[in-house]
Amino acid sequence: MSEPRPSVNPPLGLLAELTHRCPLHCAYCSNPVQLVPAADELDTGQWRSVLDQARQLGVLQVHLSGGEPMSRRDLPALVEHAHALGCYVNLVTSGLSLTDATATELVAAGLDHVQLSIQDADARLADVIAGVRAHERKVAAAAVVRRLGLPLTVNAVLHRGNLDHVGAIVDLAERMGADRLELANTQFYGWALRNRAALLPTAAQLRAADVVVRAATERLAGQMEIAYVYSDYHERRPKPCMNGWGSRQLTVAPNGDVLPCPAAGSIEGLALENVRTRTLADIWYDSSSFNAYRGTGWMREPCRSCAFRDVDLGGCRCQAFLLTGDAANTDPVCSLSPHREVVDRVLSEQTALVPPPSVPRRMPAARNGGAS
């Protein structure tokens, strides 16, 4: 039986990772090192059921993501289903398949908003990061979104190789007609963590970028909103990850695993539930994984008695696990963490030298010629 606990609110958002297949090969990919093969993906009926259950549970925002969600032939059907349930439907895409025909079909199905990734401001550099000729198709995709009258968010993941071009990236997003621009410094999970030495920016780069981003934010106020995500290793306070564990959003992975945070699969010992064997409501309210780090009761010192406890919520559980081996520790990004030296060591070792080459992301043993 799933009796809602009084302290647990229903979720507002569902991140539906429809597939891990993706035509891009970005070294900063935050998906797990071990990707879900196409054969293990939920089918259309199972995704419909996930959407039904999510809406019933209280979800109002559905982010259709991946991988590349447009790799799924049933994407228009899933958009239509989520829309009919009354959800606000976001498509998080590389844009490579977003043509007049496909976009028109998605808009007719009820798509509300598109979030389009770009890799850099310059086509040649961007295509090196993407590992495929993608940039010009993305620019064309943005034009299609504008023509169809949908709001457009452009998202650029920032790292050592493109952070110095952030001003040109802002200019490009402006030319693309974006309503919002997310400038997100790489967060180190999954594949990106493997490439940390290549991706981590220097403090000098970040200081310069900060000036550019502040000026652009002011110049474009009222026209294009800029959301800037900091490089948390360089900060003194951790991010309030997910606004709290199991607090507002849940993620369903391509194979049906239900995650309190997209990176939660990296925490060893966390017993993940799956939509094939348990209902979403049961998982949200009653599973050990969703209750493991809810609220502040799980905290140890220095979090437990900290004045910032309700501000940053102890930071990120996945990062605590990945860098200290225990997810219940304070996020080591925090200057009050006894493990802060781990982050400082990474910073001093990895941002002083010429970065090593990054390792592009590839689907293991491409089936049927791959996804592109």
Partner 1 sequence: MTTPDSSPAAAALPGTAVPRLRRGVRLSFDPTRDSYVLLYPEGVLLPNETAAAVLGRCDGGADVATIVASLAEDFDGVDAAQVSELLRRLVRRRLVEIVENTEPGEAVRGDE
Binding residues for [4Fe-4S] cluster: 22, 26, 29
Cα–Cα distance measured from residue 226 to residue 282, given in angstroms and rounded to the nearest whole number = 37
| Residue 128 vs 281, nearer CB to partner 1 | 281
Which residues are documented as binding site? Answer: 22, 26, 29
CB-based burial label for 90 (10 Å; 0-12, 13-18, 19+): buried
Least separation in angstroms between CB 17 and partner 1: 17
Least separation in angstroms between CB 70 and partner 1: 18
| Residue 219 vs 362, nearer CB to partner 1 | 219
Q: Which residues bind partner 1 (CB under 8 A)?
A: 10, 12-13, 55-58, 60-61, 86, 88, 90, 112-113, 115, 149-151, 153, 179-180, 213-214, 217-218, 221-222, 225-228
Contact 311, 240 (CB under 8 A): yes
Assigned token pair, 95: 């844009």
Least separation in angstroms between CB 216 and partner 1: 10
DSSP code, position 239: -
Cβ atoms within 10 Å, residue 32: 16
| Residue 206 vs 292, nearer CB to partner 1 | 206
CB-based burial label for 366 (10 Å; 0-12, 13-18, 19+): exposed
Least separation in angstroms between CB 116 and partner 1: 12
| Residue 35 vs 226, nearer CB to partner 1 | 226
Least separation in angstroms between CB 32 and partner 1: 23
Nearest CA to 137 out of 127, 128, 147, 152 is that of 127
Least separation in angstroms between CB 207 and partner 1: 15
| Residue 115 vs 266, nearer CB to partner 1 | 115
Nearest CA to 259 out of 292, 233, 303 is that of 292
Q: Which residues contact 257 (CB under 8 A, 6 or more apart)?
A: 265, 272, 273, 274
| Residue 12 vs 125, nearer CB to partner 1 | 12
Cα–Cα distance measured from residue 220 to residue 176, given in angstroms and rounded to the nearest whole number = 14
Contact 146, 139 (CB under 8 A): no
